Amino acid sequence: MASRTIASPNPPERSSPWSKPNSLDDKRRRVPENDMSDLIACWQHQHDSKFQKERGALLAELQKQIAPLKKDRLEHHAIIHRLKFEEVIAGSAVGVQPSGCSNKNRSHSDRLKPELQPADAARSSRERAEVELAELQSRIAPLEKEINQITRQFWVAKEKVVAEKYDLSASRYRQVEQEEVFYEKAAVTLERMRQLEAAAENDVAALARMLAETSART
């Protein structure tokens, strides 16, 4: 008797690698948009010098636009780091006055207002800087996205692959636009550590005086 295969009335759907938008790098990271159309266009125009030139010009223009914004972002990180330190140290007798908080730098209307304590002034300045940083990031993000969309498709010469010992990881060859990490200068960090040490010693001395006064009264 011949055997028969009975088909399921509801066969399971097979997932396709193209059914969901993915980035075509080595880790297939999910992206909001599908980049297949861009990939096909790059493949079709791989020998088209005009296409490559226009794409390169667009990338150069985007990088030109983003460069000053990224520089400004790093400067804001430096300002925020400094203000956080000043906010912490301001309560100490050996604390520093936050930059930009002297009377000569205040407008006439600001001078009529009650003067903020150093810690409050540093906190207020820090919060303003953080708002500005967020606004900067909102301007940088779409440029980063477009740059990374353009650089997602690229060609690598055989000689370069050989030089990398045939490592085919996309991260070896692709330039990715991402946020540069801010690192404070070592000399600045060392000076702040000295100020924190002096503040700690001052607090310990104040506690010792309080204990001495308490003992004298008892």
pLDDT in tens, 128-175: 999 999 999 999 999 998 998 888 887 788 898 899 888 888 878 887
Query: What is the spatial distance between Cα 110 and Cα 103, in angstroms, rounded to a whole number?
Result: 9
CA 155 to chain centre: 28
Give me the domain span that covers residue 181. 36-212
Residue 207 has pLDDT above 70, yes or no: yes
Rounded Cα distance, 29 and 174, in Å:
14
Percent of the chain with pLDDT over 70: 72
What are the distances in angstroms from CA 64 to CA 67, 100, 110?
A: 5, 31, 38
Let me know if residue 15 belongs to a domain.
no
| Band of residue 24 on the pLDDT scale cut at 50, 70, 90 | very low
Closest CA to 154 of 39, 64, 59: 39
- 200 is a domain residue: yes
Torsion of CA 35, 41, 43, 46, to 10 degrees: -130
* C-alpha span between 137 and 61 (Å, rounded): 19
pLDDT at residue 188 greater than cutoff 50: yes
Does 135 reside within a domain?
Answer: yes
Interval 184-212 mean pLDDT: 90
Two tokens, residue 171: 């991260």
Which of 46-50, 88-92, 99-103 is predicted most confidently? 46-50
pLDDT band, residue 30 (cuts 50/70/90): low
Mean pLDDT for the chain overall: 78
Token couple for 66 = 């983003």
Which of 29-43, 63-77, 189-203 is predicted least confidently?
29-43
Question: Which range, of 57-66, 129-138, 195-204, averages the lowest pLDDT?
Answer: 195-204
Q: For residue 177, is it within any domain?
A: yes
- Does residue 50 sit within a domain? yes
Residue pair 147/66 in contact (Cβ under 8 Å)? The answer is yes
pTM surpassing 0.85? no
What residue type is 155 in one-letter code?
Answer: W
Residue 7: inside a domain = no
| Residues 33-43 pLDDT 10s | 667 788 888 88
Q: Which of 147, 101, 143, 93 is nearest to 122 (CA)?
A: 101
Specify the number of domains making up the chain.
Answer: 1
Inside any domain, residue 12:
no
CB 124 within 8 A of CB 106: no
Q: Give domain status of residue 28, yes or no.
A: no
